[in-house]
Amino acid sequence: MSRDFGLSEFLFLVAAMRWTLLLSLIAFLGGGAAGLLVALLRTSPMVPLRWLAIGFIQLFQGTPVLMQLFLCFYGITVLFHVEIDAWPAVTIAFTLYSGAFLGEIWRGSIEAIPRAQWEAAECLALGYFHQLRLVILPQAMRISIPPTVGFLVQLIKGTSIASIIGVVELTRAGQLMTNVTFEPMLVYPAVAALYFVLCWPLSLLSQYLERRIDAALGIERRP
Amino acid sequence: MNYVFHFGVVWDHWRDLAGGAWLTIRLSAMAIVLGLALSIAGAYAKVNGPRPLRWLVGAYVETIRNTPFLVQIFIIYFSLPAVGLRLEANEAALAAMAINFGAYGTEIVRAGIEAVPQGQVEAARALGLTRLQTFRFVILFPAVKTVFPALASQFVLMMLGSSIVSAISAVELTAVTNTLQSTTFRAFEFYFVTTAIYLALALGFRAVLGSIYWLVFRRNRPA
């Protein structure tokens, strides 16, 4: 005797969205901190620091997130000899992953600021960190917002992979629901629809912000 | 730290890993051919098609881009059999990858089409070429050339994302690694090596795509 996929089952999925959101939020905050560091190292005047950041970015953009997850999950147990739950492992993996992507996005924004801005700041006798904080980053931040929102969509979708190592979020909840209702034809499209509800507004926001920034920078766009 | 690494175990199973990597390569290569065809057709429809078709392609692109790849795989592999469309794991994986790539590719190719100067299109139409001929002989080549780097990085992302198809029973690189680590209890070593293989694949694919770009678009051809 199996359950039908009715309202309460659907609400179970809706409730599971909070774990997807929480995971995305933590990964975004952690990744934001890591990403800022990566972006600064990547644009630093010191060559070895730049190489370090390039290596980090290449490593995380050149390998599957799923592998990063497995390596965090098993690697931490093995290297530090502590048993680790799925949640912290997933959090660490997604922090590093989004750190690499955000770092690369923000590097682009920093490099988009004309060289003359750095030079002018230097002429005003500002040190490196003051140049960054007072002149470069405020301008770079504005450019970086649309792609950052775009990455957030990628991140929310990416957290579905956490279900593979057993974290119960939206996708895993969908699998559990399929197992009790035997109605994958209803459950998975419902799961997809819920992700869509989360991601689509962000996608639209990102496109809207991009158009506004282009307009502000005087870039013409065809309709 | 008292964990002793045993990479020898991994070496003993190199044939299995190579087999898995080969399937990953084959799946990715087939998916890019199918996905690219979808992208070009989608982009053509989105630029030239009648309004309902444009709307339909737009819905396809937005749906795929705002839902997780993992859920798309589940829908193809677990949900579709309920309406009578039963695919094998490898076929489902290939279909999911091609459909996913097609959505991102459609937007990328469309951007390339819009970057072709309007004057060239008008000149072609004035010479009596039909819409399809104009697209085939005047627009397509420079459009793909412009966006080739974006297509290439989307392709590498898809290749890395293919590790997720291990969640259904396609036996590509990740699935092979999952099986091996669970029979040998050497999780960290296996995932470490597999991650390295993926990194090598990503770099290899980038090199191959770079060569294709050079062969197709650069050689003997003034820019």
In DSSP notation, B84-119 reads T----HHHHHHHHHHHHHHHHHHHHHHHHHHHS-HH
> CB count, 10 Å around CB of A200?
16
In angstroms and rounded to an integer, the radius of gyration of the C-alpha atoms of chain B is: 21
How many CA within 13 A on the CB side of residue A58? 14
Percent of chain B with pLDDT over 70: 97
Q: What is the pLDDT of residues B120-157, one digit of tens each?
A: 999 999 999 998 899 999 999 999 999 999 999 999 99
On whether the CB atoms of residues B177 and B20 are closer than 8 A, the answer is: yes
Residue B115 lies inside a defined structural domain of this protein:
yes
Average confidence score pLDDT of chain A: 91
Chain B's closest residue to A57, CA to CA, is B199
| pLDDT at residue A66 tops 90 | yes
In a domain, B199, yes or no: yes
**In Å, how far from its chain's centre is CA A145?**
13
| Cβ neighbourhood burial of A113 (10 Å; 0-12, 13-18, 19+) | middle
Distance CA A81, CA A191 (A): 37
In terms of Cβ atoms closer than 10 Å to its own Cβ (0-12, 13-18, 19+), residue A170 is buried
Cβ of A59 within 8 Å of Cβ of B199? The answer is yes
Find the length of chain B. 223
From B56, B150, B159, select the one nearest B110 (Cα to Cα): B150
Domains of chain A: 7-217 (1.10.3720.10)
Q: Which two tokens stand for residue A37?
A: 């560091």
Distance of residue A6 Cα from the nearest chain B Cα, in angstroms? 17
Single out the residue of B1, B4, B11 nearest to residue B196, CA to CA.
B11
State which residue of chain B sits closest to A155, comparing Cα positions.
B68
Q: Which residues of B touch A178 (CB under 8 A)?
A: 78
Residue B43 lies in a domain: yes
Check residue A163 and give its pLDDT.
93
How far apart CA B177 and CA A164 sit, in angstroms, is: 14
Say if residues B40 and B223 touch (Cβ distance below 8 Å): no
> What average pLDDT does range A8-36 have in this prediction?
94
How many percent of chain A have pLDDT more than 70?
97
On whether residue B124 sits in a domain, the answer given is: yes
Whether residue A222 has pLDDT greater than 70: no
pLDDT band at A85 (very low <50, low <70, confident <90, very high): confident
Is there a contact between A35 and A101 (Cβ–Cβ < 8 Å)? Answer: yes
* Secondary-structure breakdown of chain B: helix, strand, coil percentages, each rounded to the nearest 5: 85, 0, 15
3 state DSSP class of A97: helix
Which of A66, A74, A178 minimises the CB distance to B164? A66
Average pLDDT of the segment spanning B203-212: 93
Q: Residue B20 sits in a domain of what CATH number?
A: 1.10.3720.10
Place of tokens 């970057």: B115
- Give the mean pLDDT of B1-17: 79
Other beta carbons within 10 Å of A35: 27
- pLDDT surpasses 50 at A73: yes
| The two structure tokens encoding residue B160 | 């890395």
d(CA A61, CA A107) in angstroms, rounded, equals: 15
pLDDT at B2: 64
Which whole number is the average pLDDT over A148-176?
93
User: Which residue segment(s) compose the domain that B163 sits in?
Assistant: 8-218
Q: Give first-to-last CA distance, chain B, whole Å.
A: 58
A184 and A171 Cβ atoms separated by less than 8 Å: no
Mean of all residue pLDDT scores within chain B: 90
Structural domain contains residue B3: no
Which has the minimum average pLDDT: A51-65, A73-87, B64-78, B99-113? A73-87
**For residue B168, pLDDT beyond 70:** yes
Cα angle A55, A57, A206 (rounded to 5 degrees) comes to 165
Residue B171 lies in a domain: yes
Largest distance between two CA atoms of chain A: 78
> Is the Cβ–Cβ distance between A13 and A177 less than 8 Å?
yes
Q: Can you give the pLDDT at residue A31?
A: 96
Q: Are A199 and A153 in contact (CB under 8 A)?
A: yes
Interface of A with B (CB under 8 A): 58-59, 62-68, 70-71, 74-75, 77-81, 153, 157-158, 160-161, 163-164, 171, 174-175, 178, 183-185, 187-189, 191-192, 195-196, 199-200, 203, 222
Do residues B177 and B191 touch, judged by C-beta distance below 8 A? yes
- Alpha-carbon span B81 to B76, nearest angstrom: 8
ipTM score: 0.88
Of A67, A195, A199, the CB nearest to B195: A67
Contact B69 A171 (CB under 8 A): no
pLDDT mean over B2-9: 76
HSE-CB for B147 with a 13 A CA cutoff? 25
Residue B190 has pLDDT above 90, yes or no: no
Interface test with A, best of B72, B97, B188 (most A CBs within 10 A): B188
Evaluate whether residue B201 is within a structural domain. Answer: yes
Task: Using pLDDT thresholds of 50, 70 and 90, give the confidence band for residue A60.
Answer: very high
Q: Which residue has the higher pLDDT, B87 or A2?
A: B87
Region at A182 (left for phi over 0; alpha for psi -120 to 50; beta for the rest): left
Q: What is the pLDDT of residue B217?
A: 85
Confidence of residue B221 (pLDDT cuts 50, 70, 90): low
The whole-number pLDDT of residue B181 equals: 85
Distances (CA, A) of B200 to A17, A130, B204: 35, 40, 6
Q: Write down the pLDDT at residue A223.
A: 47
Residue in B162, B192, B202 closest to A62 by CB = B202
Greater pLDDT, A38 or B189: A38
DSSP state at residue A135? I
Q: pLDDT of B52-108, one tens digit each?
A: 999 999 999 999 999 999 999 999 999 998 888 888 999 999 999 999 999 999 999
Q: Is residue A2's pLDDT more than 80? A: no
- Pick among A17, A19, A70 to test the B interface (most B CBs inside 10 A): A70
Q: Answer whether B62 sits within 8 Å of A174, measured CB to CB.
A: no
| Cα–Cα–Cα angle for A208, A196, B74, rounded to 5 degrees | 145
Question: Confidence band (pLDDT; 50, 70, 90) for A38?
Answer: very high
Candidates B10, B65, B66, B164, partner chain A, best to mutate (most A CBs within 10 A): B66
Residue B186 lies in a domain: yes
Q: How many domains does chain B have?
A: 1
Q: Which of B139, B166, B182, B195 to mutate to test the interface with A (most CBs of A within 10 A)?
A: B195
Which pLDDT does position A3 carry in this prediction? 79
Query: Cα separation of A22 and B124, whole Å?
Result: 54
H-helix or E-strand containing B181?
helix B173-184
